Amino acid sequence: MARSTIDPAGPSRTALAHHGTGAGTGTAAGETMRLFVAIAPPAGVLDELEELAAPFRLTRQDLRWTNRSAWHVTLAFLGEMQEAKLDDLLPRLERAARRHCEIGLAFAGAGAFPVPKRANVLWSGLAGDQRALASLAASVAAGARRAGAPPPDKGRRFQPHLTLARCRLPADVTGIVAELAGYQGQEWQADRIHLVRSHLGGSKPPSYSTVAWWPLRRPAPAPADVTTTG
């Protein structure tokens, strides 16, 4: 099963575990950072998803299709946080990661926010261990709140997805959602979480850089079968 990667040149979890204010982030002390926590699919899975989306990119140029480099599955959006809060945030996210095992996932189907008939966002959904994924997202969000992240919107249910396109104006994407309804991608293993900084570029699409990452726990090996004869 493939494992996830994102920004392989980015700093590791240990490089920033005790970084000190202003170090290692490319940010001046006191500056705010737009942050979120995410998991990332491996390259082979992204290849498959890119091939799937290619025909729609050609026929639906009214949509703003996201770049492959921006593809991720958000666990928690933290919003604007002061750089100084990283000293509290990083260890809390590390503890959250340690409490959860790696998760088997696969991309499946498609959908839209708020509804396909008047969509602002077109996305691919996820199949696999949804309960484990929701539990991980809840742990991450709780740790971030304790570190001073703005509280998430009340009543918003966690719905894991990967954003394929955004719409400048509400668009009808019912045809795309219907065509992708039966899609079932290859299974992959989410084995780490990433703290990611979003860099907004005005009229340009946002770019992302990894601040730090932490591995999820490897599942305990299954006990070996012992056969006795007497």
User: Over 60: is that where the pLDDT of 8 sits?
Assistant: no
Which spans in 108-218 are helix H? 130-146, 174-179
For the segment 14-21, the average pLDDT, to the nearest whole number, is 40
157-187: burial string, b at 16+ Cβ within 10 Å, e else: ebebbbbbbbbeeebebeebbeebeebebee
Across residues 166-181, what is the average pLDDT?
96
pLDDT of 5: 45
How far is residue 53's CA from residue 159's CA, in Å, rounded to a whole number? Answer: 21
Predicted local distance difference test score (pLDDT) of residue 87: 95
Instruction: Please name the residue that has the structure tokens 């396109």.
Output: 165
The residues that bridge with 148 in the sheet, in sequence order, are none
Ordered by start, the domain boundaries in the chain are: 2-20+27-215
The two beta strands, 63-65 and 161-171, are antiparallel
The pLDDT, as a whole number, for residue 37 is: 98
Tell me how many degrees the CA angle 102-108-112 measures, rounded to the nearest 5. Answer: 115
* Residue-wise pLDDT tens digits, 33-79: 999 999 999 999 999 999 999 999 999 999 999 999 999 999 999 99
**Angle between helix 130-146 and 86-98 (nearest 10):** 150
Query: Per the confidence metrics, is the pTM higher than 0.95?
Result: no
pLDDT in tens, 116-161: 999 999 999 999 999 999 999 999 999 999 999 887 665 578 999 9
User: What's the confidence (pLDDT) of residue 73?
Assistant: 98
pLDDT at 155: 58
**CATH H superfamily, domain 2-20+27-215:** Cyclic phosphodiesterase (3.90.1140.10)
Mean pLDDT of the chain: 86
184 strand-pairing partners = 108
Q: Which residue has the tokens 């009543």?
A: 155
Alpha helices in 15-156 (DSSP H): 43-59, 86-98, 130-146
